[in-house]
Structure 1
Amino acid sequence: MMRTHHILAGTAVALCLAAPAVNADTWRYAFEEALEEVQGKYAQKFKEEIEANSDHEVQLFPFGTLGESADTMEQAQAGILQFVDQSPGFTGALIPEAQVFFVPYLLPQDQETLFEFFRNSVAINEMFPELYAEQGLELLTMFPEGEVCMTTQEPVRSPEDLNEVKFRVMTNPLLVESYEAFGAVPTPLPWGEVYGALQTGIIQGQENPGFFLESTKMYEVTDVITCIGHNNFTTAVMANKDFYDGLQEADQLLIQDATAAAFEYILEYQQGLQEESLDKIREAKPEMEINILSEEERQPFMETATQVEEAFIGMAGESGQEILDQLKQDLEDARQATSG
Structure 2
Amino acid sequence: MSDAGTPYANLDPDRILDAVESLGLHADGRVLALNSYENRVYRIGIEGGAPLVAKFYRPGRWSDEAIGEEHAFAAELAAADLSVVAPLAFGGRTLHAFGGHRFALFPLRGGHAPELGDRDTLTHLGRVLGRLHAVGAAKPFAHRGELTIESHGEDPVHFLLEGGWLPPELEHNFETLAESLLDAMDAAWERAGEVATLRLHGDCHPGNILWREGQAHFVDLDDCLTGPAVQDLWMLAGRREDGPRAWQWLLEGYEQFRAFDRRELHLVEALRTLRLLHHNAWIARRWSDPAFPPAFPWFEAPRHWESVITQMQEQLAALHEPPPDPR
The TM tier, using the shorter chain, reads under 0.3
Ranked by relative contact order (alpha carbons within 8 Å, sequence separation 6 or more), the top structure is 1
Give the greater-gyration-radius structure (CA): 1
Structure with greater strand percent: 1
